């Protein structure tokens, strides 16, 4: 087996585990919330706490991989993620569960980004898109298996057992990494930007925590607003600092590269829209349409089948139309697909729900493939670590922000409509808003040159 195939499949173990974990938790969220004595919307904290862990530690993943070796960091990250999973399984309060999810986020912060660095440095540039396809294809089985499995365990057993699933996958990933991945280090590792790390980590963490606490009634409103404002101030301080620093932790100069800017800034808007779907769709099916967790999971996983089908035709689409055109047109189609979820009703047949959800997985998957590929189109090999750190932290925080936006929109819709409990009519404003975020990504991607990423598109064509 060639390294172009082998390394992505090994990294895919981590991505599979992370994706399955996220979908399992999202499917089980309503039942989990009631077991912990919380409102289901409040459990968005469990999702955003994971993102906070990512936001704090992703910025240093490139430096850590260069300093200690990519294989060592990758294996350690998997072990930390496994420990966080065990702590989730034994949690009995909201605080314990949120803290365990944060620890999982610490592991995830190093796990997938460092895995991508391993692939980027080991695979020839012309085969990079092919390698990314190998990486994402096995990872799609997480969203396929996760929702029905999580729903089945939650409905017929107990939600705590869903976190034990990560143990064998973690052990397999650690063994495969030790067997097949070289422990590569960069010989010119720069000093860690401690000031930049402190500003970016505390700023992103406080901002996300403050936004997640808004409307949760867990803390006073002034405290949530204060945390948000303080976090935003620290992030502003980092932006000013990064413009003057010689080698900042998150180098804003990468944004001068058109392909990188389109993937990070335009992609962040798209990810805000899509990041909320794993949280909002199971909630709509269970709380809005009255399904149990297992039935909800079988419908939710249809999006993964749509995404897998896209993989078979994605290379041809890129070859014919190019990155720029695909990113623009597909953003509209993906946004409309997300918005359509808001118009589900209890009278709709399950087959129709399955078809719509499958279509909603097709277009976002194509968008993710384009965004995750074009981000590296003009990045030099020696800048891979820092570029990956920057791109990953923005991507993950965008996904978390989507959950927060969706939760706020749902709460506001429920309040305006005067419903005592969540009903299916409360969901359409949130889904429409998320769809608009995805469509808004066109503002940035339309600035790409017509032949942007052409060499990578040709490489994908040859791979197909």
Determine the pLDDT at residue 80: 93
Q: Which CATH architecture has domain 3-180+249-463?
A: Up-down Bundle (1.20)
Residue 321 has pLDDT above 90, yes or no: no
Residue 433 has pLDDT above 90, yes or no: yes
**Using 50, 70 and 90 to split pLDDT, how confident is the model at 464?**
very low
Q: Cα-atom radius of gyration of the chain, to the nearest Å? A: 21
Residue 19: C-alpha distances to residues 16, 300, 309 (Å): 5, 13, 18
Residue 150 has pLDDT above 50, yes or no: yes
What's the whole-number average pLDDT of the chain? Answer: 82
Determine the pLDDT at residue 3: 62
pLDDT tens profile 116-126? 777 777 666 66
Residue 462 has pLDDT above 60, yes or no: no
Residue with tokens 């096995």: 138
Residue 74 to residue 109: CA distance in whole angstroms: 10
Residue 215 to residue 223: CA distance in whole angstroms: 11
How is the chain split into domains, by residue range? 3-180+249-463
What's the whole-number mean pLDDT along residues 384-412?
82
pLDDT tens profile 84-105? 999 998 988 888 998 999 999 8
Measure CA of the first residue to CA of the last residue in the chain; give whole Å: 17
pLDDT tens profile 249-260? 888 888 888 888
**Using 50, 70 and 90 to split pLDDT, how confident is the model at 461?**
very low
Which helix (H) or strand (E) is 60 found in, with range?
Answer: none
What percentage of residues in the chain have a pLDDT greater than 70? Answer: 89
Residue 328 has pLDDT above 90, yes or no: no
Most confident of 143-147, 217-221, 236-240, 373-377: 236-240
DSSP classification of residue 50: H
Residue 398 has pLDDT above 90, yes or no: no
Residue 266 to residue 394: CA distance in whole angstroms: 11
Residue with tokens 């406080």: 206
**Which pTM was predicted?**
0.79
DSSP classification of residue 263: I
pLDDT tens profile 183-194? 777 665 567 888
Secondary structure of 143-190 in the HEC alphabet? HHHHHHHHHHHHHHCCHHHHHHHHHHHHHHHHHHHHHHCCCCCCCCCC
Higher model confidence: residue 428 or residue 361? 428
Q: How many CB atoms lie within 10 A of CB 251?
A: 17
Determine the pLDDT at residue 452: 62
Return the closest-CA partner of residue 272 out of 406, 393, 390. Answer: 406
Residue 324: C-alpha distances to residues 12, 23, 261, 270, 395 (Å): 27, 30, 13, 15, 19
What's the whole-number mean pLDDT along residues 156-172?
86
What's the whole-number mean pLDDT along residues 162-184?
83
pLDDT tens profile 42-81? 878 888 888 788 777 877 877 788 788 888 888 899 999 9
């Amino acid at each position: 087996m060639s390294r172009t195939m082998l390394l992505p499949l090994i990294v895919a173990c981590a991505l599979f585990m992370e994706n399955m974990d996220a979908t399992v938790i999202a499917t089980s969220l309503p039942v989990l919330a009631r077991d912990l004595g919380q409102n289901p919307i409040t459990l968005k904290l469990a999702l955003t706490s994971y993102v906070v862990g990512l936001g704090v530690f992703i910025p240093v993943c490139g430096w850590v991989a260069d300093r200690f070796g990519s294989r060592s960091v990758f294996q350690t990250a998997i072990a930390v993620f496994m420990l966080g999973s065990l702590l989730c399984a034994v949690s009995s309060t909201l605080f314990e569960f949120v803290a365990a999810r944060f620890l999982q986020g610490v592991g995830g912060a190093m796990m997938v980004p460092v895995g991508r660095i391993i692939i980027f440095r080991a695979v020839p540039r012309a085969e990079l898109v092919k390698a990314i396809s190998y990486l994402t294809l096995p990872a799609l089985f997480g969203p396929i298996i996760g929702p029905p499995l999580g729903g089945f365990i939650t409905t017929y057993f107990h939600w705590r057992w869903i976190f034990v699933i990560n143990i064998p996958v973690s052990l397999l990933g650690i063994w495969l990494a030790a067997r097949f991945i070289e422990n590569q280090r960069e010989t010119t590792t720069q000093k860690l930007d401690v000031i930049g790390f402190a500003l970016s980590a505390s700023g992103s963490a406080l901002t996300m925590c403050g936004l997640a606490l808004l409307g949760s009634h867990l803390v006073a409103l002034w405290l949530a607003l204060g945390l948000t404002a303080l976090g935003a101030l620290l992030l502003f301080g980092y932006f000013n600092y990064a413009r003057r620093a010689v080698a900042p932790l998150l180098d804003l100069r990468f944004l001068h590269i058109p392909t990188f800017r389109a993937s990070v800034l335009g992609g962040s808007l798209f990810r805000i829209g899509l990041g909320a779907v794993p949280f909002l769709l199971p909630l709509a099916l269970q709380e809005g349409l009255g399904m149990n967790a297992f039935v909800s999971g079988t419908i939710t996983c249809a999006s993964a089948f749509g995404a897998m089908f896209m993989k078979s035709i994605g290379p041809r689409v890129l070859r014919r139309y190019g990155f720029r055109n695909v990113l623009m047109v597909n953003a509209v189609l993906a946004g409309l697909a997300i918005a359509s979820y808001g118009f589900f009703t209890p009278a709709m047949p399950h087959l129709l729900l399955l078809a719509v959800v499958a279509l909603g997985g097709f277009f976002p998957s194509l968008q993710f493939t384009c965004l995750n590929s074009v981000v590296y189109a003009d990045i030099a090999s020696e800048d891979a670590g820092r570029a990956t750190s920057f791109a990953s932290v923005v991507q993950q925080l965008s996904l978390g922000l989507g959950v927060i936006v969706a939760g706020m929109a749902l709460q506001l819709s429920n309040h305006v409509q005067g419903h005592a409990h969540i009903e299916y009519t409360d969901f359409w404003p949130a889904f429409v808003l998320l769809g608009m975020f995805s469509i808004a990504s066109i503002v940035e991607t339309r600035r790409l040159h017509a032949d942007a990423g052409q060499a990578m598109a040709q490489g994908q064509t040859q791979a197909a």
